Amino acid sequence: MINARGLARSFKTKSGPVDAVRGIDLDVSEGEIVGLLGPNGAGKTTTLRMLTTLLMPSAGTATVAGHDLVREPREVRRRIGYVAQVGAAPSAGTIVGEELITQARLQGLSKSDANARLAVVAPRLDLGGLESRALQELSGGQRRRFDIALGLMHSPRLVFLDEPTAGLDPQSRANLWEHIRSLRDETGVTIVLTTHYLDEADALADRIMVMDGGLIVADDTPEALKARIAGDVITLGLEREVDATSAGRIAREAIDVRDVVVEGGRLIVTVDAGAIAVAPLLRALDAEGLAVSSVTVTRPSLDDVFLTLTGRSLREGSDELVPSA
Partner 1 sequence: MPTETFLVFQRQMRILLRNPVWVFFGLTQPIIYLVLFGPLLKGVSGGGLGGNASWKIFVPGLLLQLAVFGAGFAGFGIIQELREGVIDRQRVTPARRASLILGRTLGNVVTIGVQGAVLILVALPFGLRASVEGIVSSVVIVCVLALGVSAASYAMGLILKDEDAFAPFIQGVSLPLLLLSGVLLPMSLAPGWLRHLSQVNPLTHVVDATRALFRGDFGNGDVLWGIGVTIALAALLAAWGTRTFQRQSA
| Residues at the contact surface with partner 1, assessed by CB under 8 A | 11, 49, 52-56, 74-75, 77-78, 80, 82, 84-94, 98-99, 102-103, 105-108, 147, 150
User: How many other CB atoms are there within 10 angstroms of residue 262's CB atom?
Assistant: 19
CB 22 within 8 A of CB 57: no
CA separation for the pair 40, 31 (Å, rounded): 27
Pick the closer one to partner 1 by CB: 75 or 206.
75
- Please, which residue, 47 or 310, has the CB nearer to partner 1? 47
Nearer to partner 1, 131 or 206 (CB): 131
Given a contact cutoff of 8 angstroms between Cβ atoms, the answer to whether 157 and 65 are in contact is yes
Q: How far is the CB of 107 from partner 1 (least distance, A)?
A: 5
Burial class (CB in 10 A: 0-12, 13-18, 19+), 209: buried
Q: Are 117 and 151 in contact (CB under 8 A)?
A: no
- Which of residues 156 and 222 has its CB atom nearest to partner 1 in the complex? 156
Q: What minimum distance in Å lies between the beta carbon of 180 and partner 1?
A: 19
Comparing CB distances to partner 1, the nearer of 159 and 277 is: 159
- Residue with Cβ nearer partner 1 (52 or 172): 52
CB of 169 to partner 1, least distance (A): 21
Nearer to partner 1, 164 or 231 (CB): 164
Minimum distance of partner 1 from residue 205's CB (angstroms): 22
β-bridge pairing 80-83 and 158-162: parallel
Task: Give 311: exposed, middle or buried? Use CB within 10 Å, 0-12, 13-18, 19+.
Answer: exposed
DSSP secondary-structure letter at 82? E
100, with CB counted inside 10 A (0-12, 13-18, 19+), is buried
Pairing relation of β-strands 232-238 and 292-298?
Answer: antiparallel
Question: For strand 190-195 and strand 158-162, is the pairing parallel, antiparallel, or unpaired?
Answer: parallel
Instruction: Tell the smallest beta-carbon distance from residue 61 to partner 1 (Å).
Output: 18
Nearest-approach distance from CB 139 to partner 1, in angstroms: 17
Minimum separation from the CB atom of position 97 to partner 1 (A):
12
